């Protein structure tokens, strides 16, 4: 009887463990050939699958087109649509040759409806020509460290074998773009109205990103894509409890589910922990800096519960110089750094500033002392 109970108990434990693994496997089920999930603010990779492999990317190309248009400072300029733009194949805003339209409206049409005609019109206006704009795209990719990326057009159509990127590179690009407020607004817009020059009613563009419009409540934006050679591609962003995520899938038959599963996995598994706090630094051993140094920006990092003990913060300060007591104006603005280690590898260095208030108080004290000394000297000896 005792043996039977033991067997039953072991069987119960086995079933329980299998259920746990099944839930975890379901949470991480990804249909995509290539995929990545990263923390937008720190760049930490939370999940990856062939993330650095060069792949066709289809219309998620337009994230680069959009951010370059926004950064050009020309959103309020009027674009004259060329015949070349109008003849571009694939998804379209149905622009007309010679039509005049604001660049900002084109960027909304590009991101919400994936207009290939809009992509070419934007490229010609911002880059001077389509070829000139492609040069700017590749230059920006190099600046951002997108090492497995090369652009051949502003829309992502399969008209060149030399147009590719990786899931990781597109995550880098999207994290960068999401730091731009205008891009955030455009990518997160569900419906946009643009003037229609030939009709009494406005054009109404509804976002193709179903995660944003109806499938996922924490979605904040993204870009869809599809060509026969690339398959379904998708970049999306989501935020919850001060954690901002970027997911990228390339050639994913079930991309909506992939992204939801990835986001839910991250929100369930990681917590954004503040490792370096903003404000006065009180963890220092050096009495000279006591009450005189601050950190201007806190640093948070997505952490699993079992990883907390693997982090440590080290404070490294400039050794105070003797002349600083007499000449506080010589004290540098940055006097040290908080170094964050994870598994003994440096993941962040946060500057430590000498408090302006402390510096000003000492400077005014020295000035007052000089005036007082001069005044006493005049009265005693003048």
Mean pLDDT (the chain) is: 89
Scanning the chain, the segments in alpha helix (DSSP H) are 2-27, 62-71, 83-86, 103-113, 116-127, 130-143, 167-177, 181-187, 210, 255-269, 356-381
Positions annotated as catalytic residues are 59, 62, 114
- 289 and 236, same domain (yes or no): no
User: pLDDT tens across 301-349, in order?
Assistant: 999 999 999 999 999 999 999 898 888 889 999 999 999 999 999 999 9
User: pLDDT tens across 45-77, in order?
Assistant: 999 999 999 999 999 999 999 999 999 999 999
Predicted pLDDT of residue 127:
98
Size of the chain, expressed as the number of residues it contains: 382
CB 43 within 8 A of CB 27: no
Predicted pLDDT of residue 249:
98
Number of domains in the chain: 2
CA trace torsion 318, 324, 329, 335 (10° rounding)? 10
CB 170 within 8 A of CB 157: no
Q: Spell out the residues 6+ positions from residue 197 whose beta carbon is closer than 8 angstroms to its own.
A: 99, 100, 101
Farthest CA pair distance, the chain: 111
Whether residue 20 has pLDDT greater than 50: no
Numbered residues of the known binding site? 223
Residue after which a domain boundary falls, among 246, 270, 294: 270
Predicted pLDDT of residue 273:
94
Q: What percent of the chain has pLDDT over 70?
A: 86
- 246 and 282, same domain (yes or no): no
Average pLDDT over every residue of 86-97: 96
Residue 83 lies in a domain: yes
Residue after which a domain boundary falls, among 270, 298, 328: 270
Predicted pLDDT of residue 368:
52
Predicted pLDDT of residue 381:
39
Residue 322 lies in a domain: yes
Other C-beta atoms within 10 Å of 164: how many? 20
User: pLDDT tens across 216-241, in order?
Assistant: 999 999 999 999 999 999 999 999 99
Q: What angle do CA 84, 115, 227 make, to 5 degrees?
A: 95
* CA distance linking residue 13 with residue 2, whole number of Å: 17
The bridge status of strand 45-49 relative to strand 78-80 is unpaired
Domain of 350 in residue numbering reads as: 277-364
- 110 and 125, same domain (yes or no): yes
* CA distance linking residue 286 with residue 14, whole number of Å: 55
Q: Spell out the residues 6+ positions from residue 258 whose beta carbon is closer than 8 angstroms to its own.
A: 29, 30, 31, 32, 35, 234, 247, 249, 252
Predicted pLDDT of residue 82:
97
Reading phi first (left if > 0) and then psi (alpha if -120 to 50, else beta), residue 281 is in beta
> Whose CA is closest to 235, among 205, 259, 201, 206?
259
Predicted pLDDT of residue 21:
40
Predicted pLDDT of residue 4:
54
Predicted pLDDT of residue 284:
86
CA 7 centroid distance within chain: 51
Q: What angle do CA 173, 176, 179 make, to 5 degrees?
A: 150
What is the pLDDT confidence band of residue 261, given thresholds at 50, 70 and 90? very high
Q: What is the CATH number of the domain that holds 304?
A: 2.30.140.30
Residue 118 lies in a domain: yes
Average pLDDT over every residue of 146-151: 98
Average pLDDT over every residue of 156-171: 97
Numbered residues of the known binding site for substrate? 223
CB 153 within 8 A of CB 163: yes
Most trustworthy range by pLDDT among 113-117, 327-331, 376-380: 113-117
- 85 and 179, same domain (yes or no): yes
What is the pLDDT confidence band of residue 198, given thresholds at 50, 70 and 90? confident
Other C-beta atoms within 10 Å of 347: how many? 16
- First vs last C-alpha separation in the chain: 111
Q: What is the CATH number of the domain that holds 192?
A: 3.40.710.10
Residue 375 lies in a domain: no
* CA distance linking residue 72 with residue 76, whole number of Å: 11
CB 53 within 8 A of CB 248: no
CA 130 centroid distance within chain: 27
Predicted pLDDT of residue 182:
98
Grouping H, G, I as helix, E, B as strand and the rest as coil, residue 46 is strand
Predicted pLDDT of residue 370:
53
> Whose CA is closest to 281, among 266, 301, 297, 261?
297
Residue 24 lies in a domain: no
Rg of the chain taking only CA atoms, in angstroms = 28
Residue after which a domain boundary falls, among 202, 236, 270: 270
CB 27 within 8 A of CB 264: yes
What is the pLDDT confidence band of residue 23, given thresholds at 50, 70 and 90? very low
Whether residue 37 has pLDDT greater than 50: yes
């Amino acid at each position: 009887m005792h043996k039977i109970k033991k067997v039953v108990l072991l069987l119960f434990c086995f079933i329980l463990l299998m259920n746990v693994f099944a839930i975890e496997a379901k949470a991480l089920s990804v249909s995509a050939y290539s995929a990545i999930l990263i923390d937008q603010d720190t760049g930490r990779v939370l999940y990856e699958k062939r993330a650095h492999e060069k792949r066709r990317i289809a219309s998620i190309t337009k994230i680069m087109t959009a951010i370059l248009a926004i950064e050009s400072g020309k959103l309020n300029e009027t674009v004259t649509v060329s015949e070349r733009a109008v003849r571009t194949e694939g998804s379209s805003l149905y622009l007309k040759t010679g039509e005049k339209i604001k660049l900002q409206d084109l960027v909304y049409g590009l991101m919400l409806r994936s207009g290939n005609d809009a992509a070419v019109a934007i490229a010609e206006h911002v880059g001077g020509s389509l070829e000139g704009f492609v040069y700017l795209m590749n230059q920006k990719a190099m600046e951002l460290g997108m090492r497995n990326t090369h652009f051949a057009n502003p829309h992502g159509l399969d008209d060149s074998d030399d147009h590719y990127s990786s899931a990781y590179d597109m995550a880098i690009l999207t994290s960068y773009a999401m730091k731009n407020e205008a891009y955030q607004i455009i990518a997160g817009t569900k419906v946009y109205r643009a003037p229609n020059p030939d009709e009494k009613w406005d054009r109404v563009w509804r976002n193709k990103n179903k995660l944003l419009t109806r499938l996922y409540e924490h979605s904040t934006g993204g870009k869809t894509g599809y060509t026969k050679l690339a398959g379904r591609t998708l970049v999306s962003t989501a935020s919850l409890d001060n954690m901002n995520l970027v997911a990228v899938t390339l050639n994913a038959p079930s991309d909506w589910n992939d992204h939801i599963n990835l986001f839910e996995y991250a929100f369930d598994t990681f917590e954004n922990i503040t490792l370096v706090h903003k404000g006065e630094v009180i963890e220092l051993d050096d009495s000279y800096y006591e009450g005189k140094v601050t950190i201007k920006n806190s640093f948070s990092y997505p952490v699993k519960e079992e990883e907390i003990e693997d982090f440590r913060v080290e404070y490294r300060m400039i050794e105070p110089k003797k002349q600083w007591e007499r000449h506080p104006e010589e004290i540098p603005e940055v006097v040290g750094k908080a170094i964050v280690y994870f598994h003994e590898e440096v993941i962040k260095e946060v500057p430590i500033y000498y408090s302006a208030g402390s510096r000003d108080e000492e400077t005014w004290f020295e000035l007052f002392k000089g005036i007082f000394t001069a005044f006493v000297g005049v009265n005693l000896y003048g």
